[in-house]
Amino acid sequence: MNSPVYLDYNATTPVDPRVLDAMLPYFTQKFGNAASKTHAFGWIAEQAVDTARKQVATLINAEPSEIIFTSGATEAINLSLKGAYEAYRTKGNHIITVETEHKAVLDCCKKLEQQGAQVTYVPVNSDGLVSISQLQQAITPQTIIICVMLANNEIGIIQPVEDIALIAHARNIILMSDATQAVGKIKVDVQQSHIDLMPLSAHKFYGPKGAGALFIRRKNPRVNLIAQMDGGGHERNLRSGTLNVPGIVGLGKACAIAADEIAADIQRITRLRDILQTTLQQLIPNTRVNGSLTARLPNTLNIAFPGIESIALLKHLANTVAAASGSACTSAVPEPSYVLKALGLDDTTAYSSIRFSLGKPTTADEIQFAIQQITAAVSKLEV
How far is residue 297's CA from residue 305's CA, in Å, rounded to a whole number?
A: 21
Going by their DSSP bridges, the two strands 67-70 and 212-216 should be labelled as: antiparallel
How far is residue 169's CA from residue 379's CA, in Å, rounded to a whole number?
A: 52
Using CA atoms, how far residue 70 sits from 39, 74, 165, 234, 374, in Å, is 25, 9, 25, 11, 38
Nearest to 46 by CA among 200, 238, 235: 235
Catalytic annotation, pick one of 108, 109, 255, 329: 329
How far is residue 6's CA from residue 358's CA, in Å, rounded to a whole number?
A: 8
Nearest to 362 by CA among 271, 253, 285: 271
Count of helix runs (H) and strand runs (E) in the chain? 13, 12
Which helix (H) or strand (E) segment holds residue 214: the answer is: strand 212-216
Whether residue 329 lies in the annotated active site: yes
Q: Any idea which residues carry the catalytic annotation?
A: 329
